Chains A and B, each alone.
Chain A
Amino acid sequence: MESLEQIKARAEAAIPGAKIDIVPNLGPANQPSLLIDNEHAPAIAKFLRDDPTLRLDFCSNVTGVDWLDRVTKKTVKVKKVVEGEEKEVNEPIEERIPGYLEAVYHLFSMAHKHGPITIRMRTRDRGEGARLPSLTPVWRSAEFQEREIFDLYGIRFDGHPDLRRILMWDEFEDHPMRKDYVQPDDFEWEPTPHDDVLARAKQHYAPRPAEQELRPS
């Protein structure tokens, strides 16, 4: 099978204006992915499906990922005047990456029996801009899985034939797989030595008298 660089070059040549980035994956699995731009996503998906050497006709897995706002620390070389002399100094800077939601598609080829090729799309933000083009017209198998992402992550897929909640009930308002979802506090937290569980247990029993201090048993 072709390398991702080759696929990227050919796809960008075939679709004018398309922009594809390669997201590296440094782990032992070494499954890097293609980050495709939202505007041309359906065209790129069609290209991947119909291109005779790729023929990625089988979209196996579609899923969402929630990335919260992150702060990464980097050291960059900055030119500075130190003691009257211009020098290159390593200076730590904090870069704030705004959060976004991601839809990940794993593609295989049943015709050529190769794969996986991973493609991903990112939303603008986690609020109003959580919209992506639907790839259900290209691969029918995304139909239920995109509905599931809409239900659990709250990404709206434009062009999806039937975008409704699938797992939770229709009246439900939250998106429970998001990392910042707070679930209803409707049961007793057993006191255990796990710190975060203990913290939640304390929160649950907050109105109790102070002398009944909660201790791990």
Chain B
Amino acid sequence: MSATVQTLEAMERPPVTMSSRLEGELLEVSMGPQHPSTHGVFRMNVTLDGEIVRKLKPVFGYLHRNHEQIGEQTTYLGSMPYTDRLDYFCSMSNNWAYALSVEKLAGIEVPERAEYLRVILAELTRLQNHASLLGFLLSDMGAWGTPLMYAFREREKILDLFESLAGSRMMCDYMRFGGCRVDADDNWLAGARKIVDRFPKFLDEFEELILGNEIVIARTQNVGKLSADLAISAGITGPMLRACGVNYDVRKVDGYGFYPRFKFRIPLGEHGDTYDRLMMRALEMRESVEILKQALAQIQPGAIVNPKAKIRAFRPPVGEAYGRIEAPKGELGFYLISDGGPNPYRYRVRPPSFINLTVLEDLCLGHTVADVMVILGSVDIVMGEVDR
């Protein structure tokens, strides 16, 4: 690269872009682990040609806190609070996935009211996760602060609900094998109804604020396109998969919980680009509100925990089980092997956001380095789950 003097003649020619001038000279940049837009301690080794990404290697492990090994050293119930800290936005969904897997392993039935409560809490979790994700994504795009503040305002309302039910804002530790820990009283349900009824108003406001915005459209449409074939082969799940037009939602496919009882639609994307992924979250929130309305109307009084489920000295029979749910980020699964002892022989978490990162390099190649942050934001990762 040599400095060139700009003559008048040269300036009249079509502008020389940064990337074409630096061709052949590759620059390696380490983005993260301390970076304002990596959503935690994620690191990417990016090879740049000018501004264009030519190679991208994610580096993991900066939050690898040995969840699986600790899970193998504690009792089955003792792992429940640890699951809160996997995807720390969605502790209720994590609880459910783990409880569901242990219930499969030990063959425990769940009473009706508990299933309803689980659906309600999981969908509330989905609402606050997607709202915050959109806020963070807009922050990454440069809309610093405002959308995130709106999202966190709604999130705080839902966290208040969690706190009044489970005793903690974020780390709820709410579900138990064969049910839930505490019952929701009528006041709580009334409060939940109020928040759910008001949520569409927030969505109208939020969508108007961000989704029709010219800058958002320019930065997201046709950026980071993912094809359906690659998505299926790479095990992509959740909104990211459905943005490619693949109709696969564990809530419909497995029909766990009481999801078959509710009427709801699965939003599907068409192009698989960042804009579709963003829209997927907005549309899913509307469907979650529908599920919540039905669940809150149908819930009946009753037991919240199966009396046959043992809390103390819980030892599932020898065997193994893989249970999964549709967490807000994708398919969250737990694979457990029991040797008949008080703690699992093998405790494995199938983290959706970790596996969704498999295609990050494919999505970013050929885009500018500024787009990398937007694409990463639309994948929706949480490091607690990626690294465990």
**Chain A interface residues toward B at CB < 8 A:** 25-29, 31, 57-61, 63, 65, 104, 106, 110, 113, 116, 118, 139-145, 166-169, 176-177
Whether A27 contacts B338 by the Cβ 8 Å rule is yes
Whether A26 contacts B317 by the Cβ 8 Å rule is yes
Whether B387 contacts A167 by the Cβ 8 Å rule is yes
List chain A residues, Cβ under 8 A from B320.
25, 27, 29, 31
Per-position binary interface string of chain B over residues 297-335, scored 1 when its CB falls under 8 Å from any chain A CB and 0 otherwise: 000000000000000000011111110100000010101
Q: Is the interface of A mostly helix, strand, loop or mixed?
A: loop
Of the stretches B145-153, B268-276, B282-290, B350-358, the one at the interface is B350-358
List chain A residues, Cβ under 8 A from B357.
144
List chain A residues, Cβ under 8 A from B64.
167-168
**Chain B interface residues toward A at CB < 8 A:** 60-61, 64, 66, 68-69, 104-107, 230, 232-237, 246, 248, 253, 316-322, 324, 331, 333, 335, 337-338, 345-346, 348, 350, 354-355, 357-359, 387
Whether A63 contacts B346 by the Cβ 8 Å rule is yes
Given that A58-B235, A113-B253, A167-B387 are contacting pairs, would A27 and B321 also be in contact in the complex, using a CB cutoff of 8 Å? Answer: yes
Q: Which residue of B lies closest to A116 (CB)?
A: B322
List chain A residues, Cβ under 8 A from B66.
176
Whether A28 contacts B107 by the Cβ 8 Å rule is yes
Q: Which residue of A lies closest to B241 (CB)?
A: A110
List chain B residues, Cβ under 8 A from A145.
355
Whether A29 contacts B235 by the Cβ 8 Å rule is no
List 4 additional contacts besides A26-B317, A29-B319; criterion CB under 8 Å. A25-B320, A140-B235, A145-B355, A176-B66
Q: Bound state CA distance, A134 and B317, in angstroms?
A: 32
List chain B residues, Cβ under 8 A from A139.
233, 235
Given that A26-B317, A116-B322, A145-B355 are contacting pairs, would A60 and B60 also be in contact in the complex, using a CB cutoff of 8 Å? Answer: no
Can you spell out 5 A-B residue pairs with CB atoms less than 8 angstroms apart? A58-B232, A60-B237, A65-B346, A113-B248, A139-B233
Whether B324 contacts A60 by the Cβ 8 Å rule is yes
Q: Bound state CA distance, A31 and B105, in angstroms?
A: 10
Q: Bound state CA distance, A144 and B361, in angstroms?
A: 13
Whether B350 contacts A61 by the Cβ 8 Å rule is yes
Q: Bound state CA distance, A106 and B322, in angstroms?
A: 8
Q: Which residue of B lies closest to A29 (CB)?
A: B321
Q: Bound state CA distance, A204 and B69, in angstroms?
A: 21
Whether B233 contacts A60 by the Cβ 8 Å rule is no
List chain B residues, Cβ under 8 A from A177.
68-69
Task: List the 8 closest A-B pairs by CB distance, nearest first.
Answer: A27-B319, A141-B235, A28-B107, A29-B321, A167-B61, A61-B350, A140-B234, A167-B64
CB distance from B58 to the nearest CB of A (A): 8
List chain B residues, Cβ under 8 A from A29.
104-105, 107, 319-322
